[in-house]
Structure 1
Amino acid sequence: MLDLTVRTLAWMLSLCTPRPRGRHRLGAVPPLRIAPIPAPPPRFTELLDGTACRLVRPYVLDPAEHRRQRERRRAARLAILGIDVGAKHIHGVRVPAASR
């Protein structure tokens, strides 16, 4: 593929550039020699152990945490509208309903 690209580019440049004239002209264009790129070494040489991994993903929530997260998101949405439905306890002290 690289050889085809180089040949196409050389042909397009030969069309776009003027040909040299006179006794110092180049003559035949020597072939391009491109060194082959060696294959990269393999990255993983050992098998992965599936028992060493945790089976539960860290972002999976239990139902109680999912409910608390839903309540926090609801409070944030209502706060945008100016409605305060904040926490019932702040720093361990129960907040009366009138100040919430």
Structure 2
Amino acid sequence: MFNLILRALDALTALFAPRGRHRAGHASPAPVHHREPRPGVHRAPGPYVTDTFLDGAATPPVRPYVLTTEQRARRRALWLATYGIDVGPRRIHGVEVG
């Protein structure tokens, strides 16, 4: 049994063994390039650069999702006002309505 397996493996290796011309030879080591570091390019600061920092306490912390319901109500009132339906606030976009 063991001899049969060895013969089968020998036949398979002879059948599927790579040819000598397709084998990769001994690879030479990759060349190492020693480059001198290039001098850095000095860039002028952009137009929005300032020396002062923003004060977070000076502005109220309002998130956009807080104002969406109010904005939706104003838009709905404006849309209904185009059809002559008077609903919502009396002042829309700073203009007195009704």
TM-score by length of 2: 0.30
Q: Highest Rg: 1 or 2?
A: 2
Structure with the larger RCO, 1 or 2 (CA within 8 Å, 6+ apart): 2
TM-score by length of 1: 0.29
